[in-house]
Amino acid sequence: MQHETHQLPVTAVAFSGQDDILLTGEGNYLCAYDSGDKKLLAKQLTFRAQAIHGIILCEDSPSTGVIWGGFLTRRFHLDRSGSGFSITLGEVFSTDDWILDAALDPGSSVLALLTAHNALWISIPHTDDDNGLHDRLVPGSNCILYSAHIRWLSDSSCLIASGTAFGDIIVWSTAPTQSSGKWSAQSQIHYTFPAHAGSIFGVQISPWVHFPSSKNKKIVLASCSDDRNIKLWDISDLSAASPGLAQVVHETGFSTTPGGSGNASPPLLARTMGHISRIWHVRFGINGTATTLNSLLSFGEDASSITWSLTAASKPTTLPYVLNEDHVVAAHAGKNIWAVDITADGAVATGGADGAMALSPSPEPIRESEIPRALLGPGGDSFKAYGFVGRNALLATTEQGRVALLDLSSAESTASTIIAEPLPELRGYSVVECTAGLAFIAGTNGNLYSYVHGCRQLYKVTELTGKAAGLFAAHRASGGFALLVTSVVQHSALLLLLPDISAANEERLPSTQLALALPAGFTVTSFATVTVKGVSYSILGARNGYIALFSFDGNQSDTVRLVLIRESVHGKEAVTALHCVPTDFEDEHTYTVSTGRDGTLAIHRLSIACDSVELYLVHQLTLPFGPNIEAIYLTPSGGLWVWGFKSKHFTVYDVVAQREIMSVDCGGAHRNCAFQPSEGGGTFIWTKASKVYRMTQTALPYELLNSGGHGREIKSVAVTTLDRGRQIVATGAEDTNIKLWETVVESGFKCLHTLRKHNTGIQHLQWSTDGTYLVSSGGFEEFYVWKISSGLPYIDLGVICESKHPRSGSSDLRIMGFDLPESLAGSFEISMAYSDSTLKCWRYMDKSWQLLASADYLTACLMDVKSAHGDGTAVLTTATDGNIVRWVSSDGQQDRQLQWISRHKIHQNAIHAVTSINLTDGSRLLMTGGDDNAIAFSRISEEVKTLLIPRAHAAAVTGLAIVPIDEAKFWLVSTGIDQRVKLWEVKVNIAKAGVEGIEVKMLQDVFTAVADVSGLEVCKLEGGALGVLVCGVGMYLWGVPEERGIGAIRGQFDVDLYRPLLDLEAPEVKNNAAW
Amino acid sequence: MGKSSKDKRDAYYRLAKEQGWRARSAFKLLQLDEEFDLFEGVTRVVDLCAAPGSWSQVLSRVLIQGERIGRAAWEDKRYNEILRLREAGEIPGPSAEDEGPPATEPRQDVKIVAIDLQPMSPLEGITCLKADITHPSTIPLLLKALDSEYDSSSTSIEASHPVDLVLSDGAPDVTGLHDLDIYIQSQLLWAALNLALCVLKPGGRFVAKIFRVKDVDILYAQLKVVFESVIVSKPRSSRASSVEAFIVCSNFRPPPGFKASLDNPLGSATKLNSSDTAVSRPPEPTRRVRDDGITELDLGLDNLDLVQMNTRWIAPFLACGDLSAFDADASHKLPEGHVSLDPVQPPTAPPYRQALEERKKQGGAYGKTKLGDLR
Ligand SMILES: C[S@@+](CC[C@H](N)C(=O)[O-])C[C@H]1O[C@@H](n2cnc3c(N)ncnc32)[C@H](O)[C@@H]1O
């Protein structure tokens, strides 16, 4: 089987100084990306069955380097020839222990490796006149280390920090030397000290560096731990030294006694606490040329990386230095950043458990600044309402009734122009609505003004009958603007139609005015217009979650008609923004996009045919922030941005790219704020405690590569039926999310949507046969029916949760598995397997649910259920007790009776995987994979006969899938927690009784870098070949070989299949000296 | 999760509290014993990674107090009841498994030593040591605890009075980086085995927690060198969704001339080497019809260990605990009048406790303060 593409935790990253290449370790693949255009340049298989845990590059020749992982290490070379790019690999070397760190000497020939038992290995490649070396020079101790760092201080000696599992740090040095052809190393211990209250997860030694307010250069040690502390130690003084490691071994590891034979602690320079969970590592940011230590970077389990700056402490009583939290990047989903690299100019790359890499340019902290009130004119005036009328042009009304234009183009000094001196009707009350180049202003007495930015002038539009409550402006496709004016008192609103205005000669702008009767209780919160087949429509959103559609011809005031009203569009929450997709003349339908304070983005299809107007919901998903979503913006490059508030932050999010654009800590949701989007972010203005602040972001805080992965392990995977057009993969994970993917081998997995509705980890997912419904189950009896459609504007695939099972959330039972047998479109008979041993059967149709039958098995948790055909049974279930159970159902008058008739103990323990095929004689072959390492083939007719392979895998079998070949033969693909994927040939001779005619042969056995495998599915690759998708901690797609290709090894056992295992994975078998 | 809902989610959690066990793990040992008769003729035991001490409690009650703890302690009575009802529509009687008061026969010369990193509340008759099992200095500590005459200045690291059974339930704090966690767990297993090699008498048994994951077959192959029988077993009280299982190694038979070594302990670096086995082609697949009617297919893959020179071998798997035992994965209805009890032992303080406290002092809820403000 052949590797096609993957989405795996990124466990190593490194910048290659050359050509802006970013190298990553993804499982056992070394990948090279162009950090400019984010394209994958090359991927190279490195170790046969071991993930990469570290990458370093030679300082003097950045196209060569070293990778390591587990016990293994290997050198590599990057070759760029013209447009091609490739990675060539050196020999694989194995140490005898887990490698924690590796470092090349300044000459890039001697590689020092440190293992988890504090042993130092030296590896030197052989050349024409040197045999090279790969050996352990410093023997280890018996205490286990969680972290280590090697720093070469000169050509011949390295300084090493070793962090133990129990909070101690050992600082020692060693000098590997060669004399008369033999290598040896003298080592000395400088410090052994209790550093933290928990395991030391990260240590880092700086080179000699300059330090704030200190004349001398220092060597600093940074450490981080389970105890959530980050500490900085001054280890410049290396004069204290006790020889050899051997005797301290007994002292270290656990309960070091301070003042024992180890040395005293080095001076503690600074300490801080950071991150909400474990801190995995710390790195120094060292300015390349100046060799000053200017920052520290920490990252960890909370999937964020924090940049700390170092300053001298002001208070003399505390530690000499203070670490200040400069900024936090939270670019990864879920848990864990595993790897980081940092360039000399401060750019940072992080690799996450979600499979993504985040690239942050050198951080330039953007700070908020206050917009001084003095700009509003004399007399201590203050801001009332404001909005953007153009890029960097903020129009504001004031408390005293002024209208001012603020020029925000310079970040430091803001300039202003007073457009209008105090107007009495704007004093103390004004509403402002801004669109590009135009603003509308109304006050207490009914005068409606328009500000035209083109001529920096204020015009009067009309006199309203009372005080305006709200103004809502929208562009009209036919040209000009529509302005909806709502009033405080009446159940009616005024619709004004205005031509395009750039400059007007008259005092008063021309407008058409139409009256619009609002339904009772309809408080307008959003507004949009659209024209379909020459008829204009206004769409209004309300505070109570309603939307209403009005049509008008455009000229006479008597023809505004309410054509449609729809409740609960955003639950009972306000519809905050509306946008209509402009139509071409022939179009009979269009789409409306809306956001609400229910935290969702919704898309409706508006279809208009012969007088009947219909609005169908085609998409509605909860956004990853909220619930106060406030606005929609279409970017010039096809992005769909929404923004709003999430606890104390203002957040801008791109729905198409599924990423955060900008986030501002503004203290909470604000009624008074304005945002002007621009490339890379925008300018956010907000009022807080009667002061107005601004924050401008001009570049994205980070770029993402390979984003979209789950934050936790995948628990279930389902692929739409192979013979249908477009193939969509659905995955459900422990992070409670469901994701929809398209697999494009070239560019990897593309996440189309993230469905956030479950409150528990996903247990099971299944598609309807036609691929229009996806059904999901989880804990708390959560069970949802999703409807999927395609061809939508902006987002292509539309997803709505059509219904949830009436008992969703009502108990703490888990729905472990279910089956949706084929039925009429949109109607299903769903069998559900529960964690309390009950089986229930429901009919679902048109959002209504009917319980057909319910019955108990025994006391074991049911694992899955499969509908049966033809053999008289209704369904088959599997359970944690290793049984497959047959159930029958009988239709009574009132209700259906469900009862199990026989159970068959196939496995010793839980059955984790099940799949089946129907044989031509009407019997059924059920394949099960168990916790007991076994795969079973059970032929089910009147009786059940089983063929069992007890040691099919070395650990639990968790995934099975079928590759059909012909009537008498198929392939079975199996996978499990042992991280192997096996391909089996199964021949079935139905003429023979029971399982006598079933022959099974193993064809292939390959490693998968996906840990905690939970399932696998067969899918179609581009070009029609079949693939196998393995899911767990990440995803991995294999191409299934053609039957011809596999013919070569079929029928014979191939020892060579296993030969590489001997060479690479198993450390050599050594004779124990003590024997 | 509320206390009561955890009781429902996990029957063994509730039972442990009701029966006075310090941890639900007690049932894992009890169910392993039910299958393997671990305590038969046993008087001297070492319990590694023992805190909070439920395994030691089991040892104390079985060996010192001479209690017999039967299946009734963890039986889901509904199981047999439902089956009986199905069969004849009979009125359910009391569970056949219900035993009278357990017979007590305290054993003579019982010696139990428990070791853990974490402090453990004392248990009568059990020597508790606070030590790291991966650390070599623990060996003399253990030998001293087993034999008061042991001369700690001697270089001998072999027990003069070896023990019958070595248990280890050690588990590291997992990081989520799967292969690292697997490695660390294997190191704990090696450490436990090294201690066992020093103190176990020939023919003795070794039972240890193992993660059934990638490369577990390498560990099995190594254990098989020093024990006649190696079986991996999963008690019903261990969740099917967890990779945890227990390796039950019987009949310790150190290779001739074997001496446990402090300087060269077994571990990833030093491997046991068995007599060379020729690389042979695996035999043809064979079929065998078992008593229960299931046809077992031996693909000859078992002999792969020959091909792989004993570096990989898949130990036979055996689930233990009767099917009538509570299912650790199932949701349960709470018995009528159920009162949720407090755990027998409060959890030990994590290393970040101080961090939590400091943060609280700095102002309210977790994460409210800018972290950099702390010093
Ligand atoms: C699952 S608990 C054991 C539960 C115990 N068998 C009982 O029944 O109460 C795992 C224990 O392993 C201990 N442990 C982990 N690493 C250790 C080490 N290196 N040395 C000693 N104990 C260790 C932990 O402190 C923890 O108490």
Q: Which of A973, A1014, A1023, A983 is nearest to A727 (CA)?
A: A1023
Q: Taking residues A583-610, what's their average pLDDT? A: 92
Neighboring chain B residues of A276 at a CB cutoff of 8 Å: 366-367
Q: What would the two tokens of residue A149 be?
A: 């760092």
Q: Which of A195, A396, A204 is nearest to A298 (CA)?
A: A204
- Buried b / exposed e along A1033-1065 (16+ C-beta atoms within 10 A): bbbbbbbbbeeeebeeeeeebeeebeeebbebb
pLDDT in tens, A107-141: 888 999 999 999 999 999 888 777 788 999 998 88
pTM: 0.92
Q: Spell out where B121-199 has E strands.
A: 126-130, 163-168
* A815 or A363: which leads in pLDDT: A815
Q: What share of chain A in percent tops pLDDT 90?
A: 65
Between chains, do A117 and B269 touch, taking CB under 8 Å as contact?
yes
* A507 or A923: which leads in pLDDT: A923
pLDDT in tens, A390-448: 999 999 999 999 999 999 988 776 789 999 889 999 999 999 999 988 999 999 888 99
The number of folded domains in chain A is 1
pLDDT in the model for residue B161? 86
Q: What would the two tokens of residue A373 be?
A: 């009130």
CA-CA distances (angstroms) from residue A711 to A172, A279, A785, A819?
Answer: 38, 17, 23, 27
Does the CB atom of residue B24 touch ligand 1 within 6 A?
no
Domain boundaries, chain B: 3-96+110-256+268-344
Please, are residues A483 and A477 in contact by the beta-carbon 8 Å criterion?
A: no
Q: What is the DSSP letter of A709?
A: -
Chain A touched by B341 (CB under 8 Å): no
Q: Taking residues A918-927, what's their average pLDDT? A: 91
State the architecture of B3-96+110-256+268-344 in CATH terms. Answer: 3-Layer(aba) Sandwich (3.40)
Q: Look at residue B62 and give its three-state secondary structure.
A: helix
- Buried b / exposed e along A951-988 (16+ C-beta atoms within 10 A): bbbbbbbbbbbbbeeeeeebbbbbbbbbbbbbbbbbeb
pLDDT in the model for residue A264? 75
Identify the closest residue of chain A to B211 by CA–CA distance: A955
pLDDT, one tens digit for every residue, chain B (375 residues):
456 778 888 899 999 999 999 999 999 999 999 999 999 999 999 999 999 999 999 999 999 999 988 888 888 888 888 888 887 654 444 444 455 555 677 888 999 999 998 899 999 999 999 999 988 889 899 999 998 877 766 667 777 789 999 999 999 889 999 999 999 999 999 999 999 999 999 999 999 999 999 999 989 988 988 999 999 999 999 998 899 999 999 999 987 777 776 666 666 556 665 544 444 445 678 899 999 999 999 887 544 444 455 578 889 999 998 888 999 999 888 877 888 888 887 767 777 777 777 777 765 444 433 333 332
SS3 content of chain B, % helix, strand, coil (to 5): 30, 20, 50
Neighboring chain A residues of B331 at a CB cutoff of 8 Å: 812-814, 834-836, 861
- Per-residue confidence band for A897, with pLDDT thresholds at 50, 70 and 90: confident
pLDDT in the model for residue A556? 57
pLDDT in the model for residue A1056? 35
Q: What is the DSSP letter of A359?
A: E
Give residue B171 CA to ligand 1 midpoint distance, Å.
Answer: 6
Q: What share of chain A in percent tops pLDDT 70?
A: 91
Between chains, do B319 and A906 touch, taking CB under 8 Å as contact?
no
Atom of ligand 1 nearest to the CA of B170: 12
Q: Give a yes or no: residue A411 inside a domain.
A: no
Q: In what order do the strands lie in the sheet with A54-57?
A: A54-57, A64-69, A72-81, A84-94
Q: What would the two tokens of residue A235 be?
A: 């280890």
Identify the closest residue of chain A to B316 by CA–CA distance: A951
Between chains, do A1058 and B307 touch, taking CB under 8 Å as contact?
yes
Does the CB atom of residue B141 touch ligand 1 within 6 A?
no
Q: Spell out where A228-304 has E strands.
A: 229-234, 242-243, 268-273, 279-286, 293-300
Report how far Cα A867 is from the mean position of its chain's Cα atoms. Answer: 35
pLDDT in the model for residue A997? 95
Q: Taking residues A205-232, what's their average pLDDT? A: 91
Residue owning tokens 């099972």: A805
Q: Is B209 a catalytic residue?
A: yes
Compute the distance between CA of residue A184 and CA of residue A1011 in angstroms, rounded to an integer.
39
Strand partners, A95: none
Between chains, do B331 and A814 touch, taking CB under 8 Å as contact?
yes
Q: Give a yes or no: residue A1027 inside a domain.
A: no
pLDDT in the model for residue A1050? 33
pLDDT in the model for residue A12? 98
Of A276, A335, A836, the CB nearest to B367: A276
pLDDT in the model for residue A945? 96
Q: Give a yes or no: residue A884 inside a domain.
A: no
Q: Give a yes or no: residue A280 inside a domain.
A: yes
pLDDT in the model for residue B100? 52
pLDDT in tens, A167-210: 999 999 999 998 888 899 989 999 999 999 999 999 999 999 98
Compute the distance between CA of residue B122 and CA of residue B112 in angstroms, rounded to an integer.
12
Q: Give a yes or no: residue A385 inside a domain.
A: no
pLDDT in the model for residue A245? 53
Does the CB atom of residue B170 touch ligand 1 within 6 A?
yes
Residue A757 region, left (φ>0) first, then alpha (ψ -120 to 50), else beta? alpha
- Active-site choice (B17, B209, B224, B234): B209
* A1 or A486: which leads in pLDDT: A486
Interface ipTM: 0.91
Report how far Cα B291 is from the mean position of its chain's Cα atoms. Answer: 30
Q: Which of A705, A581, A568, A575 is nearest to A640 (CA)?
A: A581
* A650 or A240: which leads in pLDDT: A650
Identify the closest residue of chain A to B298 by CA–CA distance: A949
How many residues are there in chain A?
1075
Of B176, B298, B309, the CB nearest to A1062: B309
Compute the distance between CA of residue B322 and CA of residue B34 in angstroms, rounded to an integer.
9
Q: What crossing angle do the helices spanning B138-146 and B178-199 adopt, rounded to 10°? A: 40
Neighboring chain B residues of A225 at a CB cutoff of 8 Å: 351
CA distance A81 to chain B (A): 36
Residue owning tokens 């999963």: B234
pLDDT in tens, A45-71: 999 899 999 999 988 888 899 999 999
CB atoms within 10 A of CB A436: 12
Q: Give a yes or no: residue A1055 inside a domain.
A: no
Q: Which of A304, A343, A340, A345 is nearest to A325 (CA)?
A: A304
Neighboring chain B residues of A954 at a CB cutoff of 8 Å: 212, 215-217, 312, 314
Between chains, do B293 and A225 touch, taking CB under 8 Å as contact?
no
Q: In what order do the strands lie in the sheet with A229-234?
A: A200-205, A220-225, A229-234, A268-273
pLDDT in the model for residue A1048? 37
How many residues are there in chain B?
375
Compute the distance between CA of residue A1053 and CA of residue A951 in angstroms, rounded to an integer.
17
Identify the closest residue of chain A to B260 by CA–CA distance: A1074
Compute the distance between CA of residue A8 and CA of residue A252 in angstroms, rounded to an integer.
36
pLDDT over 90 (residue A1058): no
Q: In chain A, how many H helices and how many E strands?
A: 2, 87
Neighboring chain A residues of B234 at a CB cutoff of 8 Å: 909, 931
- Per-residue confidence band for A213, with pLDDT thresholds at 50, 70 and 90: confident
CA distance B295 to chain A (A): 5
Please, are residues A423 and A443 in contact by the beta-carbon 8 Å criterion?
A: yes
pLDDT in the model for residue A542? 96
Does the CB atom of residue B111 touch ligand 1 within 6 A?
no
Chain A touched by B372 (CB under 8 Å): yes
Q: Give a yes or no: residue A170 inside a domain.
A: yes
Q: Look at residue B145 and give its three-state secondary structure.
A: helix
Which range of residues forms the domain containing residue A70?
Answer: 7-176+185-360
- Buried b / exposed e along B297-336 (16+ C-beta atoms within 10 A): bbbbbebbbbbbbbbbbbbebbbbbbbbbbbbbbbbeeee
C-alpha dihedral over B251, B257, B262, B267, to 10 degrees?
A: -60
- How many CB pairs (< 8 A) connect A and B? 291
Report how far Cα B69 is from the mean position of its chain's Cα atoms. Answer: 18
Q: Is residue B88 packed enough to be buried (19+ CB in 10 Å), middle (13-18) or exposed (0-12)?
A: exposed
Q: Give a yes or no: residue A861 inside a domain.
A: no
Chain A touched by B171 (CB under 8 Å): no
pLDDT in the model for residue B289? 95
Between chains, do A226 and B173 touch, taking CB under 8 Å as contact?
yes
Between chains, do B308 and A198 touch, taking CB under 8 Å as contact?
no
Amino acid found at A179: S
For testing the chain A interface, which of B10, B215, B230 should be mutated: the one with the most A CBs within 10 Å? B215
Does the CB atom of residue B52 touch ligand 1 within 6 A?
yes
- Per-residue confidence band for A506, with pLDDT thresholds at 50, 70 and 90: low
Neighboring chain B residues of A810 at a CB cutoff of 8 Å: none
Residue owning tokens 């001054």: A234
Q: Which of A964, A1037, A960, A970 is nearest to A998 (CA)?
A: A970
Task: Say if residue B109 carries a ligand binding annotation.
Answer: no
Q: Is the peptide bond before B254 cis (omega within 30 degrees of 0)?
A: no
pLDDT in the model for residue B307? 43
pLDDT in the model for residue A351? 97
